């Protein structure tokens, strides 16, 4: 399987980096972002390992998620491609998830 990041997920990674870069420095920011990416890459071999994302069931696209730190790595599987569509802080309001993952 191939793992790819949607444009929105890439934007989320940049926002996470910028946030931690300001608060904890660029080295820590890189460490956090790289751990998120590494965790997503594990889906290459085990795409069904994540839990079903209950807040997105109504969209009917089979969204699942993995956790890394307090971030949900939201993804869907289509054929041989795993697409990370969103990286969502568990501190955010879950009601906005469907709007971000149409």
Q: Which token pair is 68?
A: 């890394």
Angle at the Cα of 91 from the Cα atoms of 39 and 54, rounded to 5 degrees: 70
Q: What is the pTM of this model?
A: 0.87
- Between the alpha carbon of residue 12 and those of residues 16, 50, 79, the distances in Å are 6, 19, 24
Does residue 44 contact residue 2 with C-beta atoms inside 8 Å? yes
DSSP per position, 69-97: TTEEEEEEEETTEEEEEEEEETTS-GGGH
* pLDDT score for 60: 85
Q: How confident is the model at residue 99 (pLDDT cuts 50, 70, 90)?
A: low
Strands 2-5 and 81-89: parallel
Angle between helix 7-24 and 26-41 (nearest 10) = 150
Tens digit of each residue's pLDDT (9 = 90 or more) over 15-60: 999 999 998 999 999 999 999 999 999 999 999 999 998 888 888 8
pLDDT of the residue at 44: 95
pLDDT band at 81 (very low <50, low <70, confident <90, very high): very high
Contact present, 76 and 65 (Cβ < 8 Å): no
- CATH number 3.30.2310.20 is the correct assignment for the domain at 2-100: yes
Collapsing DSSP to helix, strand or coil, 21 comes out as helix
Asked if pLDDT for residue 98 goes beyond 60, the answer is no
């Amino acid at each position: 399987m191939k793992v790819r990041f949607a444009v929105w997920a890439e934007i989320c990674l940049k926002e996470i980096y910028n946030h931690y870069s300001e608060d904890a420095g660029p080295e820590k920011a890189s460490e956090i972002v790289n751990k998120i990416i590494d965790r997503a890459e594990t889906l290459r071999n085990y795409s069904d390992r994540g839990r079903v994302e209950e807040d997105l069931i109504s969209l009917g696209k089979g969204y699942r998620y993995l956790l890394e730190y307090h971030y949900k790595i939201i993804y869907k599987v289509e054929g041989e491609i795993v697409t990370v569509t969103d990286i969502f802080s568990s501190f955010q309001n879950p009601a906005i998830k469907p709007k971000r993952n149409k």
